[in-house]
Chains A and B, each alone.
Chain A
Amino acid sequence: MSVVKQVETAGAGAAPGAPRAFLEGGHALAEGAIQAGCRFYCGYPMTPSTEVLEYMARRMPQVGGVCINVEAEIEGINMVWGATGGGVRSMIASTTNGMSLMQESMSEMVLGRVPAVIVNMGRGQGDYFQCTRGGGHGSHRMIVLAPGSAQEAVDTAYRAFHLAEKWRHPVLIYGDFMLSHTSETVSFAPPPDTLDPLPAKTWVTDGARGRKPRLLTSLGMRLKEDASAGAPAEIGPGGGHGGTDTTRPMRDTVARHREIAAVETRVETAWLDDAKMVITAFGIVGRFARYAAKLAREEGMKVGYVRPYTLVPFPYETYADVGSRGIPVAVFENNAGQMVQDVRLGVEGRAPVHFIGEISMDGSGFGVGPKIDALHVLEKIREVYPRRNAA
């Protein structure tokens, strides 16, 4: 049984005295990363993640960091691998298709435990499967955080680097066009949960100064602990890939995910105590769902609200609680039904689960469409709200 932590309503609370700015979400996230110590960034222009690159191109040189506009996303993710391996906090932001391109290295960075931060400012919310099931191979999962506001994007930047190094595990931040381009007042201060001391970085390959050499690898190769001074030991019986236990990184990843899920699951909830139906959504879309729930309450419908902040680890327990009380869940997302599958897994058939979302994009296919609207969501809530007479 894991401890599911509560998060603040997206957009609430600025740390008193902290520096503030009025920034669009993509810029806010970028500045949050800088404040968290990120000093290496790669990007490739692609709507709607382009602005993160633009911000970093201006800002990174100011703090003595490196920003590279790469010639391909695949190059970028591997540069981030190299820089992270050198001990420097590194990040890349891309979009949807670009994320697909990077999947091989993303998968291997999980297996190799390369704690980088990867951002998908996506088109719509149709990359939920890609983020959480993984468009990649092997048993990998990243830690996936879905901020719902510019402030939460700032907090998520600090948190992503912290969690990545705490667990030595890459972290994926999943946003979208609206998050990236909506401007809000934000303040910059590390969230309290990111202030715990981090483990020493004993895996960094930055030149074997006064120590035995290290090998940063995803293939399960391992240098023997008892190598004599100056002589790295064998990889395994037979050397080379023979004798290498290539399944060990996969099994380690699965075990680590259980540990992560036990303590890092985070969710925002409201009005659950007397709820007759729950509406759930993720990301900035959650704010529309929450507002619709508030309007529904004003009409006398007892609607509760759940917004997963960590998509991995997913707050199955929260939905299990709801399901165990027989409360139906309506899932609103900007896709053809992806998070709804995880909701069903959480509810485990004990209550109805309604998918009330749809793909809603603007004409360009990059942004959000007219259905991402609180009144529309309210209408969908009315359609599925249980009509039996409540006691």
Chain B
Amino acid sequence: MSQSEAAEPSAPSTVTPGMEKVFTRSPLLGTNTHSLCPGCGEPNAVRVLMENIEEMGERENTVCVLGIGCYTAFAALMDVDCQQAMHGRAPAQATGLKRVLPDRLVFTLQGDGDMITEGIQEVIHAAARGEKITAICLNNAAFGETGGHMTATSVIGQRTKSTLEGRTPERHGYPIRLPEMLMGFEGVAYLARGTVHTPAGVKKTKKLLRAALETQRRGLGFSLVEVVTMCPTGWFVTPGEGPKFQQENLLPVFPVGELKRPRSLTV
């Protein structure tokens, strides 16, 4: 079949009088494309994150500290100041920045390999100190960027390039549920987990991220949102199978919902 150079919109794609635009990409995402895999869930989380920043009017106040993973490339997409951090270290780096510029909106963007595997010390101590940052974990239960290896959140039975027969408790231990772990920390004000495997999940994730950012904006303490994202490449499934794999294998281990919320928060 011939390759189209600039495909013609089909006739039904006609905006008729009386129609208004109800959805468009946030200007904070710019016009660039990204090279993340087809069916990756991370861009969905980043999109709703940027929509929140735009709706809160915080573009000029925001600094994002990115860890190391596929998502590091989003520094080219997000129309906010960014710092890149070493693997696992973003919560410490964000702490330094927030402590000297307390009126800025400072959040980390990390994967599960970055935050929960390499950098669990950093996020635990930032949470314990109640640092007024928002830590955002894109959890796909794998080291995606290196090709699909076990992390601290890979689930039992999950086959990766370092757990070829599937993760087993005897050889590889159990996955870590980070938001659950931080529940008892007095300095932690907001904890939630979202999913982006369905449109409803994406919309709910947007609300969770908004609540976390509002928690920071009101100076209420440490906030963390873990977003479960599809990684068909790391899971060795097709892009179309990603949402089903997520629903059947990850979400039973990582249940979605708000775990902790400041009483005074009304968003």
Residues of A within 8 A of B (CB): 39-40, 42, 66, 68, 70-72, 74-76, 78-88, 90, 104-105, 108, 112, 205-210, 213-219, 221, 223, 228, 230-235, 238-242
A242: chain B residues within 8 A (beta carbon):
35
A-B contact pairs, 6 of them (CB 8 A): A42-B96, A79-B95, A86-B104, A208-B81, A221-B75, A239-B76
Do A206 and B63 have beta carbons less than 8 Å apart?
yes
Apart from A84-B96, A233-B76, list 14 A-B contacts with CB within 8 A.
A66-B100, A68-B99, A78-B89, A79-B93, A85-B96, A87-B101, A88-B100, A205-B63, A207-B105, A217-B75, A230-B27, A231-B79, A232-B77, A234-B76
Do A218 and B100 have beta carbons less than 8 Å apart?
no
A208: chain B residues within 8 A (beta carbon):
59-60, 62, 79-81
Name the residue on B nearest A211 (C-beta): B60
B100: chain A residues within 8 A (beta carbon):
39-40, 66, 83, 86-88, 90
A76: chain B residues within 8 A (beta carbon):
92
Cβ-neighbour of A79 out of B32, B34, B96, B121 (below 8 A): B96
Do A75 and B92 have beta carbons less than 8 Å apart?
yes
Nearest 7 interchain pairs by C-beta: A82-B96, A79-B96, A231-B30, A240-B73, A82-B93, A83-B96, A239-B35
Do A82 and B121 have beta carbons less than 8 Å apart?
no
Tell me, yes or no, whether B82 is within 8 Å of chain A by CB.
Answer: yes
* Min C-beta distance of B82 to chain A, whole Å: 5
Tell me, yes or no, whether B33 is within 8 Å of chain A by CB.
Answer: yes
Assembled-state Cα–Cα distance A240/B104 (Å): 26
Given the known interface contacts A218-B84, A232-B77, A233-B32, the answer about A78 and B63 at a Cβ–Cβ threshold of 8 Å is no
Given the known interface contacts A75-B92, A82-B97, the answer about A231 and B65 at a Cβ–Cβ threshold of 8 Å is no
B125: chain A residues within 8 A (beta carbon):
70-72, 75
Assembled-state Cα–Cα distance A84/B79 (Å): 21
Cβ-neighbour of B72 out of A79, A230, A241 (below 8 A): A241
Give the size of the chain B interface in residues (CB under 8 angstroms): 47
B78: chain A residues within 8 A (beta carbon):
213, 232
Tell me, yes or no, whether B85 is within 8 Å of chain A by CB.
Answer: yes
Tell me, yes or no, whether B36 is within 8 Å of chain A by CB.
Answer: yes
Given the known interface contacts A82-B83, A213-B78, A215-B82, the answer about A66 and B99 at a Cβ–Cβ threshold of 8 Å is yes
Do B36 and A240 have beta carbons less than 8 Å apart?
yes
Do B34 and A240 have beta carbons less than 8 Å apart?
yes
> B20-40 toward A: CB 8 Å interface, digit per residue (1/0)?
000000010011111110000
Do B97 and A71 have beta carbons less than 8 Å apart?
no
Do B97 and A86 have beta carbons less than 8 Å apart?
yes
Do B84 and A216 have beta carbons less than 8 Å apart?
yes
Tell me, yes or no, whether B61 is within 8 Å of chain A by CB.
Answer: yes
Tell me, yes or no, whether B122 is within 8 Å of chain A by CB.
Answer: yes
Name the residue on B nearest A236 (C-beta): B76
Cβ-neighbour of B121 out of A72, A112, A230 (below 8 A): A72
Name the residue on B nearest A221 (C-beta): B75
Assembled-state Cα–Cα distance A214/B101 (Å): 16
Name the residue on B nearest A214 (C-beta): B81
Do A40 and B79 have beta carbons less than 8 Å apart?
no
Do A75 and B85 have beta carbons less than 8 Å apart?
no
Q: Is the interface of A mostly helix, strand, loop or mixed?
A: loop
B70: chain A residues within 8 A (beta carbon):
240
Tell me, yes or no, whether B94 is within 8 Å of chain A by CB.
Answer: yes
A68: chain B residues within 8 A (beta carbon):
95, 99
Assembled-state Cα–Cα distance A215/B77 (Å): 11
Residues of B within 8 A of A (CB): 27, 30-36, 59-63, 65, 70, 72-73, 75-86, 89-90, 92-101, 104-105, 121-122, 125, 145
Assembled-state Cα–Cα distance A68/B122 (Å): 14
B89: chain A residues within 8 A (beta carbon):
74-75, 78, 81, 105
Assembled-state Cα–Cα distance A86/B59 (Å): 16
A82: chain B residues within 8 A (beta carbon):
65, 83, 85, 92-98
Do A78 and B61 have beta carbons less than 8 Å apart?
no
Name the residue on A nearest B27 (C-beta): A230
B60: chain A residues within 8 A (beta carbon):
207-210
* Min C-beta distance of A140 to chain B, whole Å: 14
Given the known interface contacts A79-B96, A105-B89, the answer about A205 and B76 at a Cβ–Cβ threshold of 8 Å is no
Assembled-state Cα–Cα distance A216/B76 (Å): 12
Cβ-neighbour of A231 out of B31, B81, B82 (below 8 A): B31
Cβ-neighbour of A75 out of B61, B79, B121 (below 8 A): B121
A83: chain B residues within 8 A (beta carbon):
96-97, 99-100
Name the residue on A nearest B66 (C-beta): A217
Name the residue on B nearest A204 (C-beta): B81
Do B104 and A90 have beta carbons less than 8 Å apart?
no
Assembled-state Cα–Cα distance A75/B86 (Å): 11
Name the residue on A nearest B34 (C-beta): A239
Cβ-neighbour of A238 out of B35, B63, B81, B92 (below 8 A): B35
Given the known interface contacts A82-B92, A233-B32, the answer about A205 and B81 at a Cβ–Cβ threshold of 8 Å is yes
B86: chain A residues within 8 A (beta carbon):
78, 104-105, 108
